[in-house]
Chains A and B, each alone.
Chain A
Amino acid sequence: MELTLVHLYPDLMNIYGDLGNVSALAFRCRKRGIKLNIRPVSMGNKLAPGSFDLVFGGGGQDKQQIVVSQDLRTKKDALLKAAAAGIPMLTICGTYQLFGRYFKPSLGPTLTGIGIFNAYTVATQQRKIGNILIKTALGELVGFENHSGNTYLDSPGLAFGRVVKGFGNNGSDKTEGCRAQNAFGCYLHGSLLPKNPNLADYLISLALEIKYKKKVKLKPLDDQLEWQAHRASAKICLKPGCWNR
């Protein structure tokens, strides 16, 4: 089996170790004999509808977000079609914000998003930084958030998860991230996928099911180190009086 992963703007949107997510997908595919082609797609690169099976986009700084939001227009059509077809996507922080309707930075004009998520983001003066733990339909996810934007969902039901500890989308409504079909957006860096292998595997199996149009059961891997790291991070995050809260 073979999958093509589009890594959006790896040169511009990779500020908080997001590369680890791509490493995790590659590693977990390789271990199962699935060939994962990683296709970096950045400024000016063409993205044709139907040419990929998985999408990943990471976090970036405000300045990079401006140029990315402009360039994303050229890829909007392909991405919207893919989202409608159920192609799994994982977007984190900066890319998540631009997959919503818009992002209003603290300075300068509003950045238009591609609207896969029914959500919008507004920059605030309070930077939300620290360990975060959320509960999702896939189980508990742990990571590290670092964002000044507050994201608001059109309805709480769109949330990817519920905040157990941390700020989440906006620090007030306990929602975190957004899910639209198989497109996921969230604020969890960490990197997220290495120590949340359940999510990594879910994305891979979704991609395979869409592409090969059949139920896929992934071969279990030895995830002892993954869960050990997950538990240790969760413990640090949940510790009462956590020093970074």
Chain B
Amino acid sequence: MSSNLLISLSIAKLVAFFGGTALPGLIGLRLNPTLINQIVKKNKLRSIIITGTNGKTTTARLLGSVLSLAKVSYCHNRSGSNLLRGIATTLINQSSLTGKLKQKFALFEVDEATVPAAIKALKPKIVVITNLSRDQLDRYGEVDTIIKLWQESLDWLPKTSLVLVNAADRRLRLLHHPHLRYFGKNQPGLGLKYPRKFGSKFNYDNLWAVNAIAVHLCLDESLIPLAARSASPAFGRGEAFTLKGENYQINLVKNPASYKAVWQMLLDRKHLNQPLMLVLNDLIADGTDVSWVWDVPLPGLAGRRTPIVVSGRRAGDLALRLKYAGLNPKQIIVEPKINRAFNHLQAMPGSPKYILPTYTSMLELRRHLNKEPWN
């Protein structure tokens, strides 16, 4: 065992002692760029990586529940820390000083642009690609750039590894690998019916992805509906809470595809006229370019009589999007400050109330809510 691994792990673990999901990994990798690969080799770690524009967190969560029900122990990076440093932090936290892990399995959500580095470092056994759509073009440039990047990464992947690709996403048809399989409802061998549990179409895709992995790992497929029923929605993905006797639901909207899905859910539930607050930030984690809101069709606003509260750094852009989607401007409350916007939402009659924030605005909202007196 190299002393380099011991030293870098000791220091990174010391940093991890003080908490954080990125810093220990960042420092560990700085001290020892092959840290992840060394831990992987030492433990013969078999990892599954999940990437795609939408559904990474939900798919990983669902698969995690299935693995737990099957009594398979695994390590998993927390949502939001899906860059290489987040993966490193997870391994640093879970390993002993000599780099030994208790688990033989790892499950990683991986940021789209981090896929090449993650594949090189982890040599994963399974790569799952959920979908690809416009998201954070200010970071990636073009959607095609990501496809190119993924194909290059698949060229690096061992030929024995499995690549599972969503059959419903035509863009992904460009990808190839000797061991590439599609998952989805029309794929052979998968005839399961799942409960409409989480309420948005992505969850079907997530279920199909998990199903395909379960088949490959020879896990009992009947665990999947069980896991789907027991798994709680991930952070901000339909998360519900009660405040002063009224129900609220937070649905993260981070790109046109997730916005459309959440909007469709509101329409399906006939809840579009419930009190609604939309928040748009333009920080790096949200995407600094907010022009994507113009790619979201927002049907059903023309006759609306209850106001919509718009908030965040780009509340103005959202207000215009709603106006041009047919909402009467009198029904638009523009309040860039999230705490004040939330007060408007609270004051509106009706429950449940819905909040559709982008990533950093969701974190901000959460900080604000933690200050609320709960009953």
Contacts and interface: CB of A to CB of B under 8 A. Distances in A.
B314 A232 contact: yes
B289 A228 contact: no
B288 A244 contact: yes
A225 B323 contact: yes
Interface of A: 14-20, 23-24, 27, 61-63, 127, 129-131, 144, 146, 148, 189-191, 194-195, 222, 224-226, 228-233, 236, 243-244
A223 to B, nearest CB: 10
A243 B360 CA distance: 15
Contacts of A130: 138, 288
A127 B145 CA distance: 12
A224 B329 CA distance: 10
A244 B284 contact: yes
Contacts of B292: 16-17
25 contacts: A16-B137, A17-B291, A17-B293, A17-B295, A20-B321, A27-B324, A129-B141, A129-B289, A130-B138, A144-B290, A146-B141, A190-B290, A194-B324, A195-B316, A195-B320, A222-B329, A224-B329, A225-B319, A225-B329, A225-B332, A228-B334, A232-B336, A233-B314, A236-B313, A244-B138
A94 to B, nearest CB: 10
Interface residues of B, number: 32
Given A225-B332, A236-B282, A129 B138 contact: yes
Contact of A225 (B282, B314, B334, B336): B334
B143 interface: yes
B334 A146 contact: no
Given A16-B289, A189-B291, A226-B320, A243 B336 contact: no
Contacts of B321: 20, 194
Max chain A CB contacts within 10 Å: which of B283, B288, B313? Answer: B288
Contacts of A222: 329
Given A15-B137, A146-B141, A229 B319 contact: yes
Give chain A's interface secondary structure class. Answer: mixed
B232 to A, nearest CB: 34
A76 to B, nearest CB: 26
A165 B316 CA distance: 20
B268 interface: no
A30 B332 CA distance: 20
Contacts of A231: 316
Contacts of A228: 316, 319, 334
Nearest to A130: B288
A224 B330 CA distance: 11
Contacts of B294: 17-20, 23, 191, 194
Max chain A CB contacts within 10 Å: which of B291, B323, B329? Answer: B291
A229 B289 contact: no
Given A190-B291, A228-B334, A232-B336, A146 B137 contact: yes
B221 interface: no
A65 B289 CA distance: 21
B295 A19 contact: yes
Nearest to B293: A17
B152 interface: no
Max chain B CB contacts within 10 Å: which of A17, A148, A191, A226? Answer: A17
A165 B125 CA distance: 47
Max chain A CB contacts within 10 Å: which of B137, B293, B317? Answer: B317
A22 to B, nearest CB: 9
